[in-house]
Chains A and B, each alone.
Chain A
Amino acid sequence: MSAAPSSGTPTTYPHVISVLCLNHGLNSASEPKGKMFTSGLFRFCSSCLQVIVDTPTSPVTSGLPLFFVITVTAIKQGYEDWLRHRADNEVNKSNVFVIENAKQVQKESEKIKVGDIVEVKADETFPCDLIFLASSSTDGTCYVTTASLDGESNFKVMEMDGQHVTKAGACAECVCVMINWRMLLQHPSPRPQLYLTSPPSVCSSSESAAKSLGPENLLLKGATLKNTKKIYGVAVYTGMETKMALNYQGKSQKRSAVEKSINAFLIVYLCILLSKATVCTTLKYVWQSNPFNDEPWYNEKTKKERETFKVLRMFTDFLSFMVLFNFIIPVSMYVTVEMQKFLGSFFISWDKEMYDEEIKEGALVNTSDLNEELGQVEFVFTDKTGTLTENSMEFIECCIDGHKYKDCISEVDGFSQTDGPLKYYGKAEKSREELFLRALCLCHTVRIKQADQVDGLIGHPECKNTYISSSPDEIALVKGAEKYGFTFLGLENDFMKIRNQKNETEMYQLLHTLNFDPVRRRMSVIVRTTTGKLLLFCKGADSSIFPRVQQEEIQQTKVHVDRNAMDGYRTLCVAFKELTQKEYDRIDRQLNEAKMALQDREEKMAKVFEDTEADMHLIGATAVEDRLQEQSAETIEALHAAGMKVWVLTGDKMETAKSTCYACRLFQTSTELLELTARVVGESERKEDRLHELLMDYHKRLIQDVPKPRGSLKRSWTLSQEYGLIIDGSTLSLILNPSQDSSSSHYKSIFLQICLKCTAVLCCRMAPLQKAQVFPLYSPLTEASGPCALTCGLSDHWGMWIEGKQINFSDNAMLQWRPFLYWTFLGAFEGLVFFFGVYFLFHNSSLEDNGKVFGNWTFGTIVFTVLVFTVTLKLALDTRFWTWMNHFVIWGSLAFYVFFSFFWGGVIWPFLKQQRMYFVFAHMLTSVSTWLAIILLIFISLFPEILLIVLKSIKERSHQSSRKAPKSVSSRPSVTPLLLRTFSDESNVL
């Protein structure tokens, strides 16, 4: 698929077009919320019906609430839209410079077309996906941070394609030349995955040599240019096709579990409404079958009524009942829920606790749709590096040929002298030491940023220079080498400069960099020394290095590596080999061929790498510490205490990850660890059987043997024994993608059941792709309530994926319906109390002390008064914290009701056509009996609620005392009461 630059990809931007016009209320109500729409439409139909059908309530009565609901929703939607619009405009209308016809033209970013050459200055975000063409920096690189895309705040080095672009500092003219090359972009259709992509390839017609581009050439929209004055790039994906937009689309469909359950309840209510209308219509005709009920002499039908066709009359009667009862559909509830969420989002952003002093930023709420879901999170998936840990590495120690070198050897004294016998662990040969340190200095992709070139301090670059790398490990290693006397001075025209211990500068020509990738877990460089020796240095994870070095060298280093891993350090092994010119030529040719390949490039590259990085000599190993984030232990504890299950996904060694997990209290000393790793499963052919055995064993231990705790609906902290699961990538893939053997296909469900019982799960040695696989693993369970993975930057350090999920087993679904049924039945009970209470009271309608009688309007008013008071007081009973606002709203509502009733019955009457309610309310209040009846009926209606609260409080007290006991025994030390408030806030309803 080849597309010339001119082929205009639509430049529409992720722009939610919705209500722009507030007064067009209906439009807005029907726009975003499905059910809101349904019920709104329903209500609308009802009020329309009322115009047509002869109904007991006026169109105004049911139209007015709808109008209110729509207005409020429209205002809210309009406001959120305006905000979104503003944000869109900020992005879409921001000005960018585009090179057109050898001139620099200012354009709005939404007007960028595919093929445009775009100029981006430092600290600007890329307006679309660009292919990096030219940079102002001399080495043809630029640095970007993708913090807003994936939360990784480190700088990534982007390279331009060196063969096609002049490196002589980008200027507009140079770039213009490039346009004339008529580059043909051969690019695959856009895919949402940020990194799992084969980027487009460029071929310039003038040279007719195809050139493939890698992810390092693609600048993603949303990323920010750093430390580079300006760059030029050609737009490849714009608008909706950018990676960012493709990722964004999936997230717009978020729906909370509450909304979903409301939907289900709505259907039930609709059924109730329909059956009610049907029953009432039937009863009406049964009653009317008696002629003196149908049309007694005192109440004759109108001519129209008499003439209407009977079936039609029945139908309109049915509709009339629908209209009469349509208030069972709680339209206003949607508005209440919406507004609640909307205002709740403000409280999230206002939260002082969420404010980060360092970056001066509070919580940012991207959508108010899922607020309440945050409180129902049960699984937290977190990355280890950069999330649990700071991702700022520190070189701790190294071992060379099995000799351990640790800590501060002062730079001045050099490597050979140590501070004391304690720090001295034996020494390797001097040449080996130097080789190791040179390897550390050379085998990396670290670049040097000259921080301050104006100051004229270039003479002492080591003071001012900053290392920049996509991996903090490399920086730590380079710094570690510096500590031992070998300083990396930078890359100049393909020559790497190193200052050695004797303060001499050594130059190495960098021939090839075999970049790090998570599958290989290693990287290599091929350099030529000044003496012409060709050296390959390789560093990587022990598991990927050990098989590629001489077997007899491993043992001594392995001891160190294992011990370091146990201490929670990240370990890397360093190996080298010398290449002959012949060998090098072959490798060089193969590499170039593979790089040019348009098909299966990854596979070909991998094969070359595999061949190249073989038969090496192990020199040593390094240990780098990745310190835990501040308070990560407290946070994990708080998450655990809140009953959440934490999954840590990491690519690290099991030992490293495990010790980190202990350090951050993911695992307690009391936690029983279940292992599903290559170590226990073994590598043999029978590993599937072994896995099966293990799974069954764990399953038995966790699920079958554990007696169901009495309060099985309570969250898991009541369990005394906690389980943790450790699984590694290879075993996980065994479970997820079992071989053809059909018996193993149910591993997945067993595994899931085990996972659900574990408070913590550690997945180590995970490839990035596997990390992504873990989420869909849960979708069968989350489907009931909707999988909603939301990426939220809780604070600057805590980027984590939260799998929001409310219910995991079908029996919990009942739990969801219980409050609903409870409320519905309570409502029915109250309705009966209201009506029949007043009905019996009106058996003698002379309720005043002057013998005068009350009529039907007083009857209704009493019922309604009781209703309003009951509902408001019920609300008061359910109110947990009484602030002045609660007092104001609740007592204010009641006062307003009384005031309004007086007003409606007294003051307003000359303005109304019908004076049915004239003085009815005031009259009602003159009767002592009415007062007594109202009080009694309110009390009877609230009685079940009160009784329930009392029973619950009695129950709770007994629970509390039984719960207290295991809690105090539990090994969990009390943590900062981050979530203490949540504990006490259990739902009021059973």
Chain B
Amino acid sequence: MAVNYSAKEEADGHPAGGGPGGGAAAGGGGAVKTRKPDNTAFKQQRLPAWQPILTAGTVLPAFFIIGLIFIPIGIGIFVTSNNIREYEIDYTGIEPSSPCNKCLNVSWDSTPPCTCTINFTLEHSFESNVFMYYGLSNFYQNHRRYVKSRDDSQLNGDNSSLLNPSKECEPYRTNEDKPIAPCGAIANSMFNDTLELYHVENDTRTAIPLIKKGIAWWTDKNVKFRNPTGDGNNLTALFQGTTKPVNWPKPVYMLDSEPDNNGFINEDFIVWMRTAALPTFRKLYRLIERKSNLQPTLQAGKYSLDITYNYPVHSFDGRKRMILSTISWMGGKNPFLGIAYITVGSICFFLGVVLLIIHHKYGNRNTSADIPN
């Protein structure tokens, strides 16, 4: 009974923990209790579990359904995008025939400013509200050095940052020992062409009213960008002690005549400060609101665009464009999304069909294979 004996003894009085098991290598198991493990669902890994079974039978219908959803969405987006009216003029003046060619090598401080006029014809009328953009190409607003080159505290009206801008603004931080407001490369390179649109009818030019407010994000205009605070509302006084960005013709407090669109909260400035993601980009410039229900916003016909050409792009092989566009629920004209949806939906549908065939083939072979084996 030698063997039984040892077992009995252990069962009687000596909990095994003090016994031979307590060697030097307890490791992670030190938490092991000598008592019986709890019979809980968690500890026994028996939590009620749902096991999704992705079989051909469940996934193939899903493929069809996804296809059937995606294709109509794609078509919808595509049609919407195609219905958007968009007109684009490149006014860089690279071609010698272009009226703006004379301004091509303009510099920042050329006085008087170079102006040019481009005439164009709209074939179709723009029915709803029209949005006027300026577009730049080969302009790297997403350059690492460029993106960082700003001081958000300064732009938020922080007085200490106003006079002592962040180091990130280098080399556009100070000029002649005065802090630059707004500092940084972004602000310094603000787009400063002026675009004016005229409707030409029987040789008479009617200026089209361009609204310059409501082009920036609401949160930017009302929260993120603030003018410095102090005694009174005189911006000139508030910006005392700072200097204008090097490339600007006039200081920031003279950007606009209206006080609620001047200084840091000038909407053109705010729009510019939202850096673009890609080197070819457009930014909202003006709004053209539809006047009445009877007339389209811009009827088909002749127009002329007066440009005050201040912004040099030729040096970096850039392009400047003016874009007129209507807007739908999905934004501006962009066929990509619609095409992508249609493509993916079609692939889904197609694969659904192919897999269904394969599935059927396999299924048939299965049933027949069972018999000889």
Contacts and interface: CB of A to CB of B under 8 A. Distances in A.
A918 B188 CA distance: 22
Contacts of B35: 360
A364 B29 contact: yes
Given A298-B146, A342-B28, A884 B171 contact: no
Interface in B1-16: 1-7, 10-11, 14-16
Contact of B27 (A155, A366, A856, A915): A366
Given A360-B15, A928-B329, A845 B170 contact: no
A845 B327 CA distance: 12
Contacts of B248: none
Interface string A343-363: 001110111100101111111
A932 B11 contact: no
B304 interface: no
B336 A841 contact: yes
A47 interface: no
B344 A940 contact: yes
B327 A849 contact: yes
A84 B284 contact: no
A913 B152 contact: yes
A153 B3 contact: yes
Interface size class of A (residues with CB under 8 A): 35 or more
Interface string B355-369: 100110011011001
A359 B7 contact: yes
Contacts of A73: none
A807 B123 CA distance: 72
A248 B336 contact: no
B47 A145 contact: no
Contacts, number: 351
Given A352-B36, A846-B332, A933-B337, A368 B2 contact: no
Given A125-B20, A846-B284, 12 more contacts: A224-B20, A292-B317, A296-B140, A352-B44, A358-B7, A359-B7, A472-B2, A840-B340, A844-B333, A915-B152, A950-B63, A954-B56
Report the 8 A-B pairs with minimum CB-CB distance, sorted nearest first: A148-B20, A965-B373, A298-B189, A87-B26, A83-B30, A365-B29, A859-B277, A292-B316
B232 interface: no
Contacts of B147: 856
Contacts of B73: 932
B192 to A, nearest CB: 12
A954 B362 contact: yes
Contact of A946 (B59, B166, B214, B328): B59
Interface stretch (B90-98, B198-206, B216-224, B255-263): B216-224
Given A80-B28, A883-B47, A936-B344, A855 B274 contact: yes
A851 B27 contact: no
B329 A84 contact: no
Interface in A349-396: 349-352, 355, 357-368, 390-392
Nearest to B36: A355
Interface in A18-60: 56
Contacts of B29: 345, 349, 363-366
A541 B272 CA distance: 98
Contacts of B189: 297-299
Contacts of A919: 217, 219-220, 223-224
Interface stretch (A98-106, A430-438, A463-471, A640-648): A463-471
A361 B337 contact: no
A939 B66 CA distance: 10
A362 B30 CA distance: 12
Interface size class of B (residues with CB under 8 A): 35 or more
Contacts of B31: 83, 346, 349
Given A297-B315, A919-B217, A367 B25 contact: yes
A391 B317 contact: no
Contacts of B224: 915, 918-919
Given A148-B21, A472-B3, A367 B27 contact: yes
A355 B37 contact: yes
B147 to A, nearest CB: 7
5 contacts: A56-B144, A292-B315, A350-B38, A964-B370, A965-B369
Contact of A881 (B49, B142, B214, B337): B49
B316 A296 contact: yes
A251 B24 CA distance: 12
B197 to A, nearest CB: 16
Contacts of A932: 73, 77, 330, 337, 341
A950 B275 CA distance: 43
Contacts of B344: 936, 939-940, 943
Interface stretch (A408-416, A822-830, A955-963): A955-963
A361 B330 contact: no
Contact of A302 (B10, B54, B170, B247): B170
B337 A841 contact: yes
Nearest to B366: A961
Contacts of A84: 24-27, 30
Interface of B: 1-7, 10-11, 14-16, 19-39, 43-45, 47-56, 59-60, 63, 66, 70, 73, 77, 129, 131, 133, 139-147, 149, 152-153, 156, 166, 170-172, 185, 188-189, 214-217, 219-220, 223-224, 247, 271, 274-278, 280-284, 287, 312, 315-317, 325, 327-334, 336-337, 340-341, 344, 351, 355, 358-359, 362-363, 365-366, 369-370, 373
A634 interface: no
Contact of A847 (B144, B330, B340): B330
B341 A936 contact: yes
Interface in A318-361: 342, 345-347, 349-352, 355, 357-361
A685 to B, nearest CB: 45
A80 B27 contact: yes
A300 B171 contact: yes
B70 to A, nearest CB: 8
Contacts of B334: 841, 843-844, 847, 929
A68 to B, nearest CB: 21
B156 to A, nearest CB: 7
A928 B49 contact: no
A306 B345 CA distance: 52
Contacts of A351: 37, 44
A466 B1 contact: yes
Nearest to B152: A915
A299 B184 CA distance: 9
Contacts of B63: 950
A308 to B, nearest CB: 14
A292 B10 CA distance: 86
Nearest to A447: B2
Contact of B28 (A352, A365, A879): A365
B23 to A, nearest CB: 6
A965 B370 CA distance: 7
Given A882-B52, A936-B344, A950-B60, A847 B362 contact: no
Contacts of B15: 360
A928 B316 contact: no
B351 A947 contact: yes
Given A299-B146, A361-B16, A936 B277 contact: no
B67 to A, nearest CB: 11
Interface string A598-631: 0000000000000000000000000000000000
B328 A849 contact: yes
Nearest to B44: A352
A475 interface: yes
A86 interface: yes
B366 A958 contact: yes
Contacts of A837: 340
B3 A392 contact: yes
A958 B362 contact: yes
A927 interface: yes
